[in-house]
Homo-oligomer: A and B are copies of this chain.
Amino acid sequence: MNALEQLIDALRCLPGVGQKSAQRMAYHLLQHDRAGAVRLSEALRAAGERVGHCERCYTFSEAGLCEICRDDGRDARLLAVVETPADQAALERTGSYRGYYFVLQGRVSPLDGIGGREIGVRQLLERVQDGPLEEVILATSFTAEGEATAHVLAQALRSRGVKSTRLARGVPVGSELEYVDLGTIAHALVDRR
């Protein structure tokens, strides 16, 4: 393989990028944006070397403790458990949560042999011993695997006497009832307030 083919091949490690997009990206970089290619190469190297995981919440962090865990102005009674740093970022962008986070290593998936141990339940249980925690908010996805994850975590937390809650299920803001799926409407009815 020559350097161009190797680049096309390497670009395919990006999620959502197949042969055709990879080729388009490689041609674009070489034809129109060689400075961008250099910058990207450097950024990949630097991020790979410098970005690790926070020792406390396991999100991405360059320091031993991430910015949020270092911030002692947050509400130490609340801990939100999410599946990925991306989910954490989404929660954080809402601006309506002021507690701390715990980032799992993904979600349980029995078929792939991924259980509580693999996603970091032990580390979560260690984390909840630490500090004046009152409530763990299970902010995993509302998919089958996310629900299974929440179930596993809720059981483990209950056995330690820690209260856990789940994000509300319901009709998304801005949607018309007619077009919302029936399972969602049923949940919104049960959880009405």
- A27 touches which of B37, B46, B86 (Cβ 8 Å): B86
- A33 lies within 8 A of chain B by Cβ: yes
Q: Is the CB of B43 within 8 A of A7?
A: yes
Copies, count? 2
Interface of A is mostly: helix
Nearest Cβ distance between residue A36 and chain B, in whole angstroms?
3
Number of interface residues of A (CB under 8 A): 46
Expressed in whole angstroms, the Cα–Cα distance for A10 and B29 within the complex equals: 12
Q: Is the CB of B40 within 8 A of A10?
A: yes
Q: Which residues of B contact A28 (CB under 8 A)?
A: 14-15
Q: Is the CB of A44 within 8 A of B51?
A: no
Q: Is the CB of A45 within 8 A of B41?
A: yes
Question: Contacts A16-B21, A25-B14, A51-B30 known; A3 to B40 CB distance under 8 Å?
Answer: no
Q: Is the CB of A38 within 8 A of B30?
A: no
Task: Give the residues from 85 to 104 in chain A that come closer than 8 angstroms, CB to CB, to chain B.
Answer: 85-86, 89
Q: Is the CB of B7 within 8 A of A47?
A: yes
Considering residues A10, A24, A31, which has the most beta carbons from chain B within 10 angstroms of its beta carbon?
A10
Nearest Cβ distance between residue A82 and chain B, in whole angstroms?
12
Q: Which 6 A-B pairs have the closest CB atoms?
A: A13-B36, A10-B43, A41-B44, A7-B47, A10-B40, A3-B50
10 A-B interface contacts by CB (under 8 A) = A2-B51, A4-B51, A10-B42, A15-B25, A27-B86, A29-B47, A29-B48, A30-B51, A30-B60, A37-B48
